[in-house]
């Protein structure tokens, strides 16, 4: 089943950041993602049977972006 997590990332401020985040989130467990530079937020839709919000946060951290979970649904 798909779940959604919204993360706030303070250091998200350029097109290069969006590209880097996209590369790190491209895997089988991530169904879709949307990046908002204006809000400095990333919305990620993922398969809850394969991963979870904390693991997605870890993926971002490995790419150099510290994310704070704003909401999950």
The domains of the chain, with CATH numbers, are 2-72 (3.30.70.100)
Q: Are 13 and 37 in contact (CB under 8 A)?
A: yes
At residue 45, φ and ψ (nearest 5 deg) are -105, 125
Q: Answer whether residue 32 shows pLDDT above 80.
A: yes
**Structure token pair of residue 67:** 């994310």
Radius of gyration of the chain (CA): 11
Spatial distance between the Cα atoms of 21 and 18, rounded to a whole number of angstroms: 5
pTM across the whole model: 0.89
Q: Are 42 and 7 in contact (CB under 8 A)?
A: yes
Calculate the average pLDDT of the chain.
92
The predicted pLDDT at position 1 comes to: 87
Q: Are 45 and 33 in contact (CB under 8 A)?
A: yes
């Amino acid at each position: 089943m798909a779940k959604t997590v919204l993360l706030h990332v303070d250091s998200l401020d350029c097109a290069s950041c969006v590209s880097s985040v996209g590369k790190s989130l491209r895997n089988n467990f991530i169904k879709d993602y949307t990046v908002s530079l204006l809000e400095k937020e990333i919305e990620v839709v993922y398969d809850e049977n394969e991963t979870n919000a904390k693991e997605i946060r870890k993926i971002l951290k490995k790419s150099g972006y510290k994310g704070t979970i704003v909401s999950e649904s």
